A and B are shown apart, each in its own frame.
Chain A
């Protein structure tokens, strides 16, 4: 379980996160909805300790990432896969090498076992047969699928998706949405999806929160407030 408690972050005088709190339960997807530039990506990066927080704490199964030492932070991160909005694939490596990198770095698998694992992941994300291609020759949607594949490499418990469907055509968007749902249902992956797309949020989210002006509120609560005038 991931517990985000009273997280605050500001850049100079700009308050990006203001006492943000929520919980990611087992096999549940939390969606953080909000317009571009509201700090959704900053939230993901602070949760993972990439950006320091001003106050608040993030607990991964009860262990605070803010209080953890560097090697402990790395241990926590091995349980999290992250799909970047920009995909952040290594452009000097092909699809196979991109997905294999975490396996080579963190496991003692033989090259054959790594190859088999990569094949298995490519089957899951629907990119089998594309292992020799470089990111430069892939479309935006295909890069997004490979990024999901790389995030799955260490079989993490949690998956964080940063704007997974932004800038994609409707067909590819639907494919990514179905993949996110399948990973939750079939592979029990919990996680956080940040998006500004309400349609994606409603399809994949178990708990949907709105992030606006640094404050977070649950969507059902907002709907109730709107309906009650």
Chain B
């Protein structure tokens, strides 16, 4: 399959999954299931990633800036770094690694074991039944996870700064709050909304197009994560240019 075919198929799949008449009664529970699986299920790994992101950002910022600028600016730097870039992108990459691969593997297995054919024969649209809840579930979960990870990162950074770098909580938080710009926060959130769409869509798309057996299912999981990760980086740049450029 060449690149243009892939882009065409991927876009068709994406719009087909989202723009279909869906029955709230039967789709709601599956969307909630996905929100739980993606949101709550990803919390432990997100907490670990966010904690270390906050710690490393604080250490690096202090190393580069201490002694040259007022100490509260370390809080400012860490805050803006986390809100604009590190929070959204690291959370998205983690969720992509964890969820896009599992979606592709799950749907791919359903494809090779004829479960998707069974849905079609039972007159159940597989795009609505399998694609839509995962894409909408990721769309709801990722921004919430992003806000949560930003909070954890900043809290861990503040704790480290207080106990190990001699920068009191009040000084660190003054740096964050005083220079807080709503655009930074919302810009990060807008990014995470775009990221969520590519994670859900690539996880489902590569699952749907599986042909063959276990080997192809494994390959689909890999393609899903690699594609989602590349698209996340591309979108990160494009959204940054539009909002912050």
User: Interface residues, chain A, CB within 8 Å of chain B?
Assistant: 45, 48, 50, 74-75, 77-78, 80, 82, 84, 86, 88-91, 101-102, 104-106, 150, 154
Inter-chain contact B123/A74, CB cutoff 8 Å? yes
Residues on A with beta carbons closer than 8 Å to the beta carbon of B24? none
A77 to B120, CA, bound (A): 8
A105, B26: Cβ atoms under 8 Å? yes
* Closest chain A CB from B194 CB (angstroms): 29
The answer to whether residues A88 and B123 also contact, given A104-B26, A105-B26 and a CB cut-off of 8 A, is: no
Q: Is the CB–CB distance between B121 and A86 below 8 Å?
A: no
Q: Which one of B23, B113, B122 has the greatest number of beta carbons of chain A within 10 Å?
A: B122
Q: Which residues of A are found within 8 Å of B23, using beta-carbon distances?
A: 105
CB contacts under 8 Å to A, within B100-117, are 110, 113-115, 117
User: Bound state CA distance, A86 and B118, in angstroms?
Assistant: 11
- Cβ A77 vs Cβ B122 within 8 A: yes
Q: Is B165 an interface residue (CB 8 A)?
A: no
CA–CA, A92 and B199, complex, Å:
22
In the complex, are the beta carbons of B26 and A82 less than 8 A apart?
Answer: no
B181 within 8 A of A: no
Q: What's the least CB distance linking B21 to chain A, in Å?
A: 9
Q: List 29 A-B contacts (CB under 8 A).
A: A48-B121, A50-B121, A74-B123, A74-B125, A77-B120, A77-B121, A77-B122, A77-B123, A82-B122, A84-B114, A84-B117, A86-B113, A88-B113, A88-B114, A88-B115, A88-B117, A88-B118, A89-B118, A90-B115, A90-B118, A91-B115, A101-B124, A102-B122, A102-B124, A104-B26, A105-B23, A105-B122, A150-B122, A154-B122
Chain A residues whose CB sits within 8 angstroms of the CB of B122 once the complex forms: 77, 82, 101-102, 105, 150, 154
- In B118-141, the 8 Å CB interface with A consists of 118, 120-125
Contact of A82 among B110, B115, B118, B125 (CB under 8 A): B118
Residues of B within 8 A of A75 (CB): 123
Tell me, rounded to whole Å, the shortest Cβ–Cβ distance linking A114 to chain B.
12
Residues on A with C-beta less than 8 A from B26 are 104-105
Q: What are the residues of chain A within 8 A of B115 when measuring CB–CB?
A: 88-91
**How far apart sit A144 and B57, CA to CA, in the bound complex (Å)?**
58
Q: Interface size bucket, B side?
A: 10 to 19
Question: With a CB–CB cut-off of 8 A, which chain B residues contact A78?
Answer: 123
Q: Top 4 closest A-B pairs, CB basis?
A: A74-B123, A88-B118, A88-B114, A77-B123
Closest-by-CB residue of A relative to B114 is A88
Partner of B123, one of A84, A90, A106: A106
Q: Is the CB of B121 within 8 A of A82?
A: yes
- Of B23, B26, B113, which is in contact with the most chain A CB atoms at under 10 Å from its CB? B113
CA distance A104 to B26 in the complex (A): 7
B121 and A80 within 8 A (CB): yes
Residue numbers in B under 8 Å from A154 (CB-CB)? 122
CB distance from A73 to the nearest CB of B (A): 8
A50 to B119, CA, bound (A): 11
In the bound complex, do residue B124 and residue A105 qualify as a contact, i.e. CB atoms below 8 Å apart?
yes
Q: Which residue on B lies nearest to A108, using beta carbons?
A: B25
Known: A91-B115, A102-B124. 19 other contacts (CB 8 A): A45-B117, A50-B120, A50-B121, A74-B125, A77-B121, A77-B122, A80-B121, A82-B121, A82-B122, A86-B114, A88-B113, A88-B117, A89-B115, A90-B115, A101-B124, A102-B122, A102-B123, A105-B124, A150-B122
Chain A, residue nearest B23 (CB): A105
Rounded to whole Å, the gap between the CB of A161 and the closest CB of chain B is 13
Instruction: Determine how close the nearest CB of chain B comes to the CB of A146; give it in whole angstroms.
Output: 12
CA distance A104 to B28 in the complex (A): 13
Complex: chain A residue closest to B118, CB-CB:
A88
Alpha-carbon gap, A61 to B120, bound state (A): 20
CB-CB nearest in chain A for B106: A92
In the assembled complex, the CB of B39 is this many whole angstroms from the nearest CB of chain A, namely 19
Q: Which residues of A contact B113 (CB under 8 A)?
A: 86, 88, 91
Distance to closest chain B CB from A191 (angstroms): 13
Decide: A84 and B120 in contact? CB cutoff 8 A. no
User: What separation, in Å, do the CA atoms of A8 and B162 have in the docked complex?
Assistant: 76
Q: How far is the CA of A75 from the CA of B117 in the complex (A)?
A: 16
